[in-house]
Amino acid sequence: METPSTTPDAQSPETPLPPETPPSSSPPPAPVPVQQPKAKRRFSVVLLVGLVLVGLVAGGLVGYAVSYSSLNSKVNSLQSLINSSSENATYLSYPNATYLLAGNVSLSQVYRQVQQSVVVIQDLLPGYNIFLQQVYSEQQGSGFIATVDNQQVIITNNHVVTGTINITVTFPDGDSYSAKEIGSDPLADLAVLTVNPMPSDLQSLTLVSSSTLSVGDPVVAVGSPYGLQGTLTTGVVSAMGRTITESSDSGQTGPTIPDIIQTSTAINPGNSGGPLLDYAGEVVGITTAAVSSSQGLGFAIPSDTIMREVSTIVSTGTYNNHPTIDANGIDMGYQISQQMNVNVTYGFLVESESTQNGLKGGNIAAYDDQGNQITIGGDIIIAINGTRITNTDSLLSYLEQNTLPGQTVNFTVVREGKTQMVPVTIGKLSQ
């Protein structure tokens, strides 16, 4: 018998088995760990990431549901509030905004309500050319129908008709009538006209007290700016109690008028004399465009002035009961207070008084912030009947609203550095 060779035969197709190891009493070697396939590890990582993403998505959905529920509750509450107030409000929608107007009224409703009561006033103003030949220039303004002492009249600005001839009034239906002036008050820029006979189907506007107005209240002006009949503009009350000095087209300075409404409503030539209205279509003032360099600002005579005067104008042809303290002065300020060695930086400083009405003027020459010469040393008016007076505007507005010529009123003044009460007799402002 042949024994197989232990040397492998390269030519042999089979590999011989190794020789058997004889049994041994030593322990067997430790097993070698088997490495898991990489494909299985990648699957585990993907599974873990998937579980995390699922958790995040689920948590987000739960949070969104809670937030949406809370937001939806708030929206429903807001919608309920809007619905509950819808009876008192109207919405105006524009491309980028929605405006809520109080009083269940829209601007178009206001316009339809008042347009038939606003008229165009035209007249001729005589003058002379450079060759001293008489010429006539055409003027135009606005006016509105009101009832005064059971008589329908047309109210407008005094500067629209003063010194003019051939006054005509054109109503919204196109009918024109010759008109005449019943009376006027240049110091309040008011005039009252009549047409004889007045058309029987005219609707008068209602006047309400302007004392109810506050800064920020919406207002509407209707008139004929630049001849464009029936134009509506709107804005808000910008300030109350202003003092303006009117000027004519020729540049002449007119009267100084206190207690004026300032508004952002566009007021242009031709608007003068038209009504300033609240959103109920009631008159709170009469617009005036006779203020030069007032770009972006509108002014109106308050309805309180109209109601105080118009009955007297209709019955007597004029109103001559404007109060005055018969004194010249300026607004107090820090620089003036330093020159006077007082700690009061507000009020009205009396420079001179023309009558013995209880006030005392100054006698020391000084200069204001702009370098203008002033007179200091006089009374500083800081209150009237307990109402604080901060400047000229507040002084003149208080006098116009609350006093009459001949009254004696308690003024609080700073005189020679001491605060004291002075009884002042109110005078009458001459036209």
pLDDT at position 106 is 83
pLDDT at position 201 is 87
DSSP for 53-65, written as a single string: HHHHHHHHHHHHH
Enzyme catalytic residues = 159, 189, 272
| Cβ-based burial of 268 (10 A; exposed 0-12, middle 13-18, buried ≥19) | middle
Tokens of 248: 């004519």
pLDDT at position 281 is 95
Give the contacts of 326 (CB within 8 A, at least 6 positions apart).
353, 354, 355, 357, 427
- Dihedral, CA of residue 63, residue 68, residue 71 and residue 76, to nearest 10: -150
Statement: residue 166 has pLDDT above 70 = yes
Average pLDDT over the chain reads 82
pLDDT at position 228 is 84
Statement: residue 221 has pLDDT above 50 = yes
pLDDT at position 264 is 92
Region 263-288: what's the mean pLDDT? Answer: 93
Statement: residue 326 has pLDDT above 70 = yes
Region 197-211: what's the mean pLDDT? Answer: 93
Q: How confident is the model at residue 250 (pLDDT cuts 50, 70, 90)?
A: low
Decide if domain 323-428 falls under CATH 2.40.10.10.
no
Top-confidence residue, 393 or 267: 393
d(CA 197, CA 177): 9
Percent of the chain with pLDDT over 90: 60
Statement: residue 17 has pLDDT above 60 = no
Contact at 8 Å (CB) between 431 and 320?
A: yes
DSSP for 271-338, written as a single string: -TTPEEE-TTS-EEEEEE---TT-TT-EEEEEHHHHHHHHHHHHHHSB----EE--EEEEE--HHHHH
pLDDT at position 22 is 47
Q: Which amino acid is at 18?
A: P
Give the contacts of 109 (CB within 8 A, at least 6 positions apart).
281
Contact at 8 Å (CB) between 160 and 129?
A: no
pLDDT at position 371 is 85
Give the contacts of 136 (CB within 8 A, at least 6 positions apart).
124, 125, 126, 127, 165
Statement: residue 422 has pLDDT above 60 = yes
pLDDT at position 290 is 57
Region 35-58: what's the mean pLDDT? Answer: 56
CATH number for region 111-195: 2.40.10.10
Most trustworthy range by pLDDT among 48-52, 71-75, 99-103, 285-289: 285-289
Look at residues 268, 262, 231, 249 and name the one whose alpha carbon lies nearest to residue 159: 249
Q: What is the pLDDT of residues 111-146, one digit of tens each?
A: 999 999 999 999 999 999 888 888 999 999 999 999
Q: What is the pLDDT of residues 330-365, one digit of tens each?
A: 999 999 999 999 999 999 999 998 877 899 999 999
CATH topology assigned to domain 210-308: Thrombin, subunit H (2.40.10)
Strand pairing report for 387-388 and 298-302: unpaired
Q: What is the pLDDT of residues 58-117, one digit of tens each?
A: 665 555 554 555 545 544 544 454 444 444 443 333 344 334 455 566 899 999 999 999
d(CA 228, CA 356): 51
pLDDT at position 310 is 97
Top-confidence residue, 106 or 234: 234
d(CA 139, CA 290): 13
Statement: residue 49 has pLDDT above 90 = no
Tokens of 3: 């024994």
Percent of the chain with pLDDT over 70: 73
pLDDT at position 76 is 54
CA atoms within 13 A on the CB side of 299: 23
